[in-house]
Copies of this chain bind each other. A is one copy, B any other.
């Protein structure tokens, strides 16, 4: 029987039971490093949430049978691809977060478009009046009839496209795929990205962070967008160039950025930004809560187990990651 190492405590008992029908389950999260050590040579597969601290280069070299890593997260940019032998297939959990992260993205868009956090804060601070806000009413964006841009069209993008259509918006999306989806116009490549940015009143960033997409949205791309557009990010902070964004927000009061994701600093996502975004009234932030709140529902873990079972049963696993998009030359 094969052996699956589980490095997270967030998987429900029934999902572990389901997994144990196809493999011996090594519940690494219950063990200290010394206890894990004897299991490493027999492990065929691993399910991880974040990069486990004991997945050092040394320990990975002990995992001679390891051929499959399934992440519970949808993003895999935290995986140390450079330390993994080519025999190891890494699978993301794309699609498993579409509901929770898509809902959060729509909440961020409406919060920025309707200026909800700003209004709530002004009322809490006291001194606000209903009349005083009447002049600001024209700054509120009505979404109906506007254009929603999606960069790019994966599981979360598809969920957001469904919401946008229910709100009476036109939908344009960047995609790699052929074919289409009802009510969505597709664009491809660098030129397609420019078109989506130009056409849209609101843009969702839902593209994975890879070496190809780091800093994808810089000064030039922001400059293509409408002056009063809303940019929503639920992917990773580093898809957007931090300095370019700060300068664009500071110079364009009617442009908004609403994000659940933050830039990395020494390999760690942190609310401590290089520029004082919190001083800007056209910035809305939540502390990367969309993924964890979806994990709280148990759905992504179930999907991770299901895909691992596919692998164990000899079926082709879904969401195989192209490691070449993550390995850096430097």
The listed residue (B104, B114, B165, B294) touching A103 by CB distance below 8 A is: B114
- A278 and B142 form a contact (CB under 8 A): no
CA distance A288 to B122 in the complex (A): 13
- A113 and B119 form a contact (CB under 8 A): no
Closest residue to A270 on the B side, CB-wise? Answer: B130
Shortest A131–chain B CB gap in Å is: 9
The listed residue (B111, B165, B269) touching A117 by CB distance below 8 A is: B111
CA distance A140 to B287 in the complex (A): 12
CA distance A113 to B111 in the complex (A): 12
Cβ-based interface call for A106 (8 A): yes
Closest residue to A100 on the B side, CB-wise? Answer: B142
Residues 94-115 of A contacting B (Cβ, < 8 Å): 99-100, 103-104, 106-108, 110-111, 113-115
Cβ-based interface call for A191 (8 A): no
Q: Which residues on B sit within 8 Å (CB–CB) of A122?
A: 287
Closest residue to A134 on the B side, CB-wise? Answer: B292
Cβ-based interface call for A143 (8 A): yes
Residues 278-330 of A contacting B (Cβ, < 8 Å): 278, 284-290, 292-297
Cβ-based interface call for A163 (8 A): yes
Q: Which residues on B sit within 8 Å (CB–CB) of A274?
A: none
Residue interface mask A213-254, B partner, CB < 8 A = 1 = 000000000000000000000000000000000000000000
Closest residue to A278 on the B side, CB-wise? Answer: B124
CA distance A100 to B134 in the complex (A): 15
Shortest A152–chain B CB gap in Å is: 21
Q: Which residues on B sit within 8 Å (CB–CB) of A103?
A: 110, 113-114, 142-144, 167
Q: Which residues on B sit within 8 Å (CB–CB) of A296?
A: 137-138, 140
Residues 120-168 of A contacting B (Cβ, < 8 Å): 120-124, 126, 128-130, 132-134, 136-138, 140, 142-144, 162-163, 165-168
Q: Which residues on B sit within 8 Å (CB–CB) of A293?
A: 114, 137-138, 140, 142
Q: Which residues on B sit within 8 Å (CB–CB) of A113?
A: 103, 107
CA distance A136 to B289 in the complex (A): 8
**Contacts A/B (CB < 8 Å), 25 sampled:** A99-B142, A100-B140, A100-B142, A103-B142, A103-B144, A104-B140, A107-B113, A107-B114, A110-B110, A116-B116, A116-B286, A117-B121, A119-B285, A120-B285, A128-B287, A129-B271, A129-B287, A130-B269, A130-B288, A133-B292, A137-B296, A140-B293, A142-B293, A162-B166, A163-B166
8 tightest Cβ-Cβ pairs between the two chains A and B: A107-B110, A166-B166, A137-B292, A140-B293, A119-B286, A117-B117, A133-B287, A117-B120
**16 other A-B residue contacts (CB within 8 Å) besides A129-B287, A137-B296, A142-B294:** A100-B142, A103-B114, A103-B143, A107-B116, A108-B116, A115-B289, A116-B117, A116-B284, A120-B284, A120-B286, A122-B287, A123-B285, A129-B271, A140-B296, A162-B166, A163-B163
